[in-house]
Amino acid sequence: MSGTGRKMPRVVSERTAPSGLPAVSVDCRGIGGFSVEKTFDCGQTFRFFRLPGRADAVCGSVRMGKGIPEVLLTVDGSGLDPDSGEGILVLEGIGARTFEERFADYFDLGTDYAEGERIILSAMPDERSRAEMSEALWRGRGIRILRQDPWETLVTFILSQNNNIPRIRLIVSRLCAACGDRFPDPEDLTRLGTDGLYALGCGFRAKYLSDAAAKLLSGQVDFDRIRAYRRYEDAEKELEGILGVGPKVAACVLLFGFHRTDAFPVDVWMKKALARRFPEGFDPVPLGDWAGYAQQCLFYAERDG
């Protein structure tokens, strides 16, 4: 996503938290809003858990790439206004340098989502569809499209098939526990084997995970090649070469793992939302690089009721 009026967030303080971990406070004013609750409860990531009794704070692990130590991160949005999403975001587990080098991008904090909303609404073909989209954007305001690790998104969205968020999180936790409390690499899945993955609760998806690992290790599927594709269809086709990966899973991996924000995943929830809000049909293509954000807002609004 791109646009004018971009403003990078600024670290306003750095300290050591009572836990002994580094912590930073980040000024999120003027970037179009950020909601911890919505961003981590809209189905794009499965390794963060709400802190007990807190809707505005989560804790989880972030995979940084193969062979790189994961970061255990607490994300505290209690200093953000619940309506505008503006204010101070506190991140415990990283210092200012790590935030600036990695996590400003991870949270996509340099993108002006307010401008994105204007672009989305201007692409709506009529007043009725514009009103429906406006309501969904209002409900979802504060969602950020996280820039996650491609391998992690591939594994977790393979596991998402015919599944629900609590169960996906449980299976992912078991996989991580079986691999030394870190997210499994392709080699780990090969070592566990299809039977071992089945025993960890992956069910019919175990064979899909084994195939994904094999194709990554053999080079049949290559993340650098996928990232380099200009045409969405080419990237989608390569991912769909993995057993069990169809258009919806491929779209999720491209959106959340490769930040292909022109992706628009459609599942049962989305079909229901689109049919109800846009009975005459809905075409995400005119939304361009903001299609993925519109999808997340529609998805969140449908689940939010």
Q: Where are the domains of the chain?
A: 10-131, 150-257
Pairing of strands 22-27, 10-16: antiparallel
CA atoms of 63 and 43, how far apart (whole Å): 17
CB 91 within 8 A of CB 26: yes
Which residues neighbour 173 within 8 Å (Cβ) at sequence distance 6 or greater?
none
Q: What is the pLDDT of residue 3?
A: 44
Q: What is the pLDDT of residue 1?
A: 60
CA atoms of 252 and 160, how far apart (whole Å): 10
Identity (one letter) of the amino acid at 178?
Answer: A
CATH assignment, 10-131: 3.30.310.260
Q: What is the pLDDT of residue 268?
A: 86
CA atoms of 107 and 75, how far apart (whole Å): 11
3-state SS, one letter per residue, for 27-61: ECCCCCCCCHHHHCCCCCCCCEEECCCCCCEEEEE
Q: What is the pLDDT of residues 47-100, one digit of tens each?
A: 999 999 888 999 999 999 888 899 999 999 999 998 888 999 999 999 999 999
Identity (one letter) of the amino acid at 109?
Answer: L
Q: What would the two tokens of residue 225 be?
A: 């090649």
Q: What is the DSSP letter of 24?
A: E
Low-confidence spans in the chain with pLDDT less than 50? 2-5
CA atoms of 290 and 232, how far apart (whole Å): 14
Q: What is the DSSP letter of 203?
A: G
Q: What is the pLDDT of residue 305?
A: 65
Mean pLDDT of all residues in the chain? 94
Identity (one letter) of the amino acid at 88?
Answer: I
Q: Name the residues annotated as catalytic.
A: 248
CA atoms of 158 and 155, how far apart (whole Å): 5
Q: What is the pLDDT of residues 182-195, one digit of tens each?
A: 999 999 999 999 99
Alpha helix segments (H runs only) across 142-200 = 150-159, 165-177, 186-197
CA atoms of 161 and 103, how far apart (whole Å): 28
Predicted TM-score (pTM) of this structure: 0.94
**Any idea which fold 150-257 has?**
Endonuclease III; domain 1 (1.10.340)
The strands making up 48-50's β-sheet, listed across from edge to edge, are 10-16, 22-27, 87-92, 71-80, 57-62, 48-50
- CA-based nearest residue to 117, from 140, 144, 137: 137
